[in-house]
Structure 1
Amino acid sequence: MIASTNSRSREDQQDQQPTTTTITDTTNKENSPFFIDDEYKLRMTRGEEEEEDFPEMVDHVFNYARLVSDTSKMYQLKNYYAGASNGFVRVYTAEGHKYWLAQAMTTHRAPDFKVHFSVEIEDIPKAFDILAKHFFLSRCKFGMKAYMLKDWKDKHASEIAQYSETVSSVSELSVERSSVENSILLNSNVKSEDQSRVSSLSIDSGWPEHMRGREITVYIYRYYDLQKHHTIREYGEGGLFKEYPIHVKTENNPYYKSHFMEYQHMHPFEMFELEKKA
């Protein structure tokens, strides 16, 4: 998917004042979109007043340059996290982090819905800033990520120095990556003996050439019940696919059920209670 959009001018952003959104719709709880954040939906059903969004904070946190300038830091605004690591710049909720872990634990075999944005390499920072702010202000669920340019820090040394020297209120939003990830696991149904295994898991596998055209991805989670569907489809070029039954053990079947973590000692989607989010 190719998307284009225009950002507002810096002057317009500076003139904007903190806003307060009053949520009054209490009649559409069951029909609210599944991709809207749970906490926001809860406040919506209660008719509660949403805490104001400060434009300065939003601009600082959802900022590609700031996040890439120091990959040891990440930021939290409400229940959203933003940071850069392992080749990507991300915005996500706790549910999004758990979903990415579950996908990695099933070798990215479980299908999902996602929106890809094809962006010129040099425009990735600007596109991320626009989409990340929209993702947050729309209270979207799960997460999004953008390709982290390998040579960006070398080409923007002066800009990085500016962020490292600037002391602002955004510093109080800084959180440790490890503490965030460990906290998410502690609040999940992960057994103590599995904590270290999950914590050490990498959710990325690099940026291969065939991923060009998917520079920014917004994830929309949908649960795939493997035991209900019984088959796995492997897609090739031109939409052609091969279908493998998970209960038939043959030499040429790479998707026999014993290969899947769901049929071993733990079920990632149950562990993180993601099967309830379908």
Structure 2
Amino acid sequence: MEYKQRISFVGAGSMAEALMSGMLQEGLFVPSQITITNRSDQERLMNLNKRYNVNTTYDLKGVIEQATIIILAMKPKDITDGVKKIAPYIHDNHLVISVLAGISTSKITSLIGKNVAVIRAMPNTSATIGKSATALSKGEFAKSEHLEIAKTLFETVGIVTTVEEQDLHAVTGLSGSGPAYVYYLVEAMERAASEVGLEQEVAKDLILQTIIGAAEMLKSSTKQPSTLRKEVTSPGGTTEAGIKVLEEFNYQDAMVSCIKRATARSTELGSSL
């Protein structure tokens, strides 16, 4: 069912496109309800217009005033300049949703200079294929109905949960950056497959199905990951031999440190802006 809102994206990167594509595919909006702009990449806007038939423009007054929902999707480093340019056209009835890592709702509200409803969202790049894990939190002037609107929007690209804003840094380090950790693991598995003599295409199919299968097991089973791991690990067997090497290299400690560092970096980025 078509959604009775109009939405504008400020920023036209891959996340903006993923969200826009999901909303259109799910029938939440029709192209005429969506407008997108960016700082200066006109070719990018032309490509999006051609691909999705959405409105594209550099008329910032029109971008904001014709919308009921504004999604901030520029790079975090551009937040101050980007928001200040649109702030004169934002009014108290707008809903502003930010997908910018590390940028607090209070920072956004301060830049706008009005008591506008702000929701922070932390999706991940799997939104491109409708498999994002997104966390939402609301700012000081956002109400439960604003959170429900945001939930409806982001459910078009995956699952959605709500958290306190203070927890969004941890979400960023865990699921926001999480796809990259999995890709990094696959890189290592592909390298290992090559070194033990498997053909690249054969290895790729086996690796991907192994990860998909393990994820589905985790999703469908009530058992803890440690239990599922032990069920695969026969005493004296091949899996146990491999796990012992991971333990020698402190694999789990490295992953914990990785997520903690990414979480801390999210906090640093927010503080620096």
TM-score band, normalised by shorter chain: under 0.3
TM-score normalised by length of structure 2: 0.27
Where is the strand percentage greater, Structure 1 or Structure 2? Answer: 1
User: Greater CA radius of gyration, 1 or 2?
Assistant: 2
